[in-house]
Structures are given as structure tokens and as C-alpha cells.
Amino acid sequence: MATHERSIFGLTVCKNSHPDIRKIRRETGDPSIHGNKFWKSSILLMDYLQEYPLRKRARVLEVGCGWGLAGIFCAKHFNARLTSLDADSSVFPYLEYHAELNGIGVNTWRCRYEKIRMADLEQFDVIIGADICFWDQMSDMLYNLISRARRAGVSRVVMTDPGRPPFRTMAERLMHKQGAEYFDWHSAHPHNASGILVNLSFS
């Protein structure tokens, strides 16, 4: 079974060829909003947080979670209290499978970015997201979400992307208007992932 799994920053991650993943796919079908596999931008996020960690027991919201590996990493390494959000609930069986595989508890929340209220965001300290800004309209949605998060008292936002134009548009706007850090990030061998990262600290 090991050939169908890999270890990423201390997490066990199943490949699409894993019999259990194939079983989930047969039973639930493919997710409809690109949540059909583990995306490498999550590796960038985990790598960055290894170097610049979260505080212990932070209340973390992973938006556009997909399989949710970045949030599971936060729960495992920082004892984060994790909520994983996605607009497509068909990703949750993959998320819940990996959470259980890695000994992590997770709360799931089906919601679209633009529907997340400021009152909802008051429950969280940190927002993370990986590979979540792939359509043009998402750039404004995520920028507005981060603006609401700041007003709600969220202390930190960290997001990664391969470098798609909608994410760059959002990142540049955050840099100019909200003082975000925006830079390239690379995770070396054996992961070999590259992209861009946005970090905001509100304090």
C-alpha cells in the first residue's frame, strides 16, 4: 500500500491511485470545483509555515480546502483548532479520510467565499488557503473576504498559488492597500513545488 501513499511534512497523503481514494470516487463522484486531487500549492503553504509557524491552538479556517492537507498540517503540528471550508461538499469525504488517517479532528463547513460574514470570521485567528483563486471573479471575492477578516479581528492570513493571474491581481492589491507581503516561494527536493505566497499579519 506504501506505493499508493507519500509522506509530506509528516502527513500521510494518499495518491489518486490508492484503493480507498478510488472507492471514495466511485461512491461520491468527482468534486466539481477542482477538488479532485491534492494540489502542490498546499506543499508551499506547509513549507512556509514550518519556517514561520502559527502559534499553538490557533483557530484556523482553511478556505477552499479541497482535500484539506494544509489545514490538517496545522492541526497536527500546531495543535490548531481546524475548520475546513469549501463550496463543494463532495470534497469532504477526501478531507475526512485524510484527517482520520493522520489522527486529526476537523469541522467542515460548506460555504462560498462571498457568503462568509464578518460575524463568522470573528471565530478565527488565522485564515489559510492554497490554490483557491483560479477564476477572475475570485480575485475580488477573496480580497473582500480578507478585508472582512481584518475587521473581524483575524490576526493572520497566509495563501499560496502557482502564480495564476487572478491570484497575482489579488496579491498585488493586498500588497498596495493592506501592506501584505507578496513573494515567490519554493519547496526544495523531494517536493519540488514553486509558486507565490501572500502573508498578512494584522496586529
User: Does the structure show a pLDDT above 60 at 36?
Assistant: no
How far apart (Å, rounded) are the C-alpha atoms in residues 52 and 85? 23
Q: What is the mean pLDDT of residues 191-202?
A: 94
Cell reading at 133: 483563486
**Are the C-beta atoms of residues 36 and 46 closer than 8 Å to each other?**
no
- State the pLDDT at residue 64: 94
- State the pLDDT at residue 149: 97
User: Does the structure show a pLDDT above 60 at 35?
Assistant: no
Q: What is the mean pLDDT of residues 69-93?
A: 95
| Annotated domain spans of the chain | 2-201
Of 148, 135, 146, 153, the closest CA to residue 179 belongs to 146
* Stronger pLDDT, 77 or 189, i.e. the higher one: 77
Cell reading at 101: 488517517
% the chain with pLDDT above 70: 95
Residue 63, CB half-sphere, CA atoms under 13 Å: how many? 26
pLDDT in tens, 150-163: 999 999 999 999 99
**Cis preceding linkage at 31, omega within 30:** no
- State the pLDDT at residue 38: 73
User: Does the structure show a pLDDT above 90 at 32?
Assistant: no
Q: What is the mean pLDDT of residues 155-179?
A: 96
pLDDT in tens, 109-165: 999 999 999 999 999 999 999 999 988 999 999 999 999 999 999 999 999 999 999
- State the pLDDT at residue 55: 96
**Are the C-beta atoms of residues 67 and 91 closer than 8 Å to each other?**
yes
Residues 6+ apart with CB under 8 A from 190: none
**Are the C-beta atoms of residues 139 and 180 closer than 8 Å to each other?**
no
- State the pLDDT at residue 28: 78
Which CATH architecture does the domain made up of 2-201 adopt?
Answer: 3-Layer(aba) Sandwich (3.40)
